[in-house]
């Protein structure tokens, strides 16, 4: 693992009440489940867990995604099996609240329907973990049977929201603005990936068209100070995944110490930190905190502020949000941290 911590930092991060608001269930696939499926093929840890490994492109990442995930996520039961381990892991790391997504079109390739998958994921979560589940879809998924599924998912009671993901360079199509608006009318929360592989203009387009208040990644906003100011003024939060950005060689992230999260945080943007696809980056949420502390000079107080941002943006009733924020404040007091 590239990031380790001395025992005091390790304990601090583990005990810090926190959130994970950007986690793809397929990209978190527990390796032990793949090994159980095919002990020969998965005898050795994947090459992409090597410390120095960098993806050549997002397309290469997507190819590996297909190779490792499509063989596993073939039923609601499998989603439940994976979710039990993944969400248990979040809980052990001190997460009180998790937002996870699953790739919606996968439903068209299995016998189980969407609500059954949602139920399997929810039933597998640690009982005290606050869990919100999102359906993820790509820019060009509103076609053929994908279209019916997208319309249908807006009616699923167990679905908390929708997220736009996948290759960012595929142009934004007209259907998205309409579906995103109707999703909100149906009580679903909406977010979108942007500013990972495309620049600030695409982020502005997504903000204008989809009217989201949360962007997944969004790190390339730093390339335009006006976009950064817009995020601050409009209170748009970024769910950032620093180790993912490093391994996918996102523009501006040649090393962790160059990661724009420092600049965005200092400019007053609400940022959270998350693990994105821990199976493909070999990361754990705790390591995102270690990276910020060790390579970007975030103090313990600042790490606690970032954890607090997670509770600020969480889809929680106000009394529940307050109780998590109080728990975080009590933890900071016990640690002797003052803002
Ligand atoms: N789906 C899974 N991981 C993703 C990422 N980092 N960017 C866009 N879509 C994704
Ligand atoms: Zn993502």
Q: Is residue 236 in a domain?
A: yes
Q: Where residue 2 falls among pLDDT bands split at 50, 70, 90?
A: confident
CATH number, domain of 253, equals 3.20.20.140
Residues 6 or more apart whose Cβ sits within 8 Å of residue 133: 99, 100, 101, 102, 118, 121, 122, 158, 159, 160, 161
Task: Ligand 1: list residues with CB < 6 Å.
Answer: 24, 27, 165-166, 193, 196, 244, 276-277
Q: What is the DSSP letter of 172?
A: P
The Å distance, Cα 13 to ligand 2 centre, comes to: 22
Q: What is the pLDDT of residue 7?
A: 86
Phi, psi (deg, nearest 5) at residue 131? -120, 135
What's the first-to-final CA gap in the chain, in angstroms?
A: 31
The Å distance, Cα 111 to ligand 1 centre, comes to: 25
Which ligand lies nearest to the CA atom of residue 168 in the structure? 1
How confident is the model over 73-83, as pLDDT tens digits?
A: 999 999 999 99
Q: Is residue 24 in a domain?
A: yes
Look at ligand 1, atom 8, and give the residue with the nearest C-alpha: 166
CA–CA distance, 124 with 121 (Å, rounded to integer): 5
How confident is the model over 285-331, as pLDDT tens digits?
A: 999 999 999 999 999 999 999 999 999 999 999 999 999 999 999 99
Which is the closest atom of ligand 1 to the Cα of 166? 9
How confident is the model over 5-40, as pLDDT tens digits?
A: 898 999 999 999 999 999 999 999 999 999 999 999
Q: Where residue 4 falls among pLDDT bands split at 50, 70, 90?
A: confident
Distances (CA, A) of 334 to 9, 12, 94, 330, 337: 15, 11, 16, 6, 8
Judged by phi (left if over 0) then psi (alpha if -120 to 50, else beta), residue 20 lies in: beta
Which ligand lies nearest to the CA atom of residue 281 in the structure? 1
* Residue 51 pLDDT > 90: no
Q: Is residue 2 in a domain?
A: no
Report the residue among 27, 68, 238 best suited for mutation to probe ligand 1: largest number of ligand atoms under 8 A from its CB: 27
For 235, the domain range is 7-329
The Å distance, Cα 172 to ligand 1 centre, comes to: 16
Number of domains in the chain: 1
CA–CA distance, 265 with 279 (Å, rounded to integer): 27
How confident is the model over 145-194, as pLDDT tens digits?
A: 999 999 999 999 999 999 999 999 999 999 999 999 999 999 999 999 99
Look at ligand 1, atom 10, and give the residue with the nearest C-alpha: 166
Is this prediction's pTM over 0.95?
yes
Q: Is residue 31 in a domain?
A: yes
Contact status, residue 300 vs residue 293, Cβ threshold 8 Å: yes
Residues 6 or more apart whose Cβ sits within 8 Å of residue 337: 300, 301, 304
Q: Is residue 302 in a domain?
A: yes
């Amino acid at each position: 693992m590239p990031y380790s911590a001395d025992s005091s930092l390790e304990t601090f991060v583990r005990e810090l009440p926190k959130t994970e608001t950007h986690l793809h269930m397929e990209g978190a696939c527990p390796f032990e489940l793949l090994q159980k499926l095919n002990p020969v093929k998965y005898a050795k840890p994947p090459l992409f867990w090597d410390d120095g490994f960098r993806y050549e492109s997002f397309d290469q990442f997507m190819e590996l995604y297909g190779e490792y995930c499509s063989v596993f996520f073939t039923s609601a039961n499998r989603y439940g099996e994976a979710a039990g381990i993944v969400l248990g892991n979040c809980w052990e790391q001190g997460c009180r609240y998790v937002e996870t997504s699953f790739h919606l079109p996968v439903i068209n390739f299995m016998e189980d329907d969407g609500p059954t998958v949602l139920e399997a994921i929810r039933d597998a979560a640690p009982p005290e973990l606050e869990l919100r589940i999102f359906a993820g879809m790509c820019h060009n998924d509103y076609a053929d049977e994908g279209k019916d599924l997208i319309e249908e998912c807006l009616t699923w009671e167990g679905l908390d929201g929708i997220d736009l993901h996948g290759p960012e360079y595929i142009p934004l199509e007209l259907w998205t603005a309409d579906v995103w608006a109707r999703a909100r009318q149906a009580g679903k929360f909406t977010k979108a990936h942007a500013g990972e592989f495309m620049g600030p203009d695409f982020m502005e387009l997504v903000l204008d068209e989809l009217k989201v208040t949360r962007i997944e990644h969004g790190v390339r906003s730093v390339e335009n100070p006006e976009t950064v100011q817009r995020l601050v003024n409009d209170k748009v939060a970024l769910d950032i995944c620093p180790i993912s950005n490093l391994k996918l060689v996102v523009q501006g992230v040649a090393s962790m110490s160059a990661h724009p999260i420092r600049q965005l945080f200092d400019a007053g943007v609400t940022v959270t930190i998350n693990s994105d696809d821990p199976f493909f980056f070999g990361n754990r949420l705790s390591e995102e905190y270690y990276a910020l502390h060790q390579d970007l000079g975030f103090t313990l107080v600042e790490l606690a502020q970032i954890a607090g941002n997670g509770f600020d943006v969480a889809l929680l009733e106000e009394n529940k949000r307050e109780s998590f924020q109080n728990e975080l404040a009590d933890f900071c007091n016990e640690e002797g941290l003052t803002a």
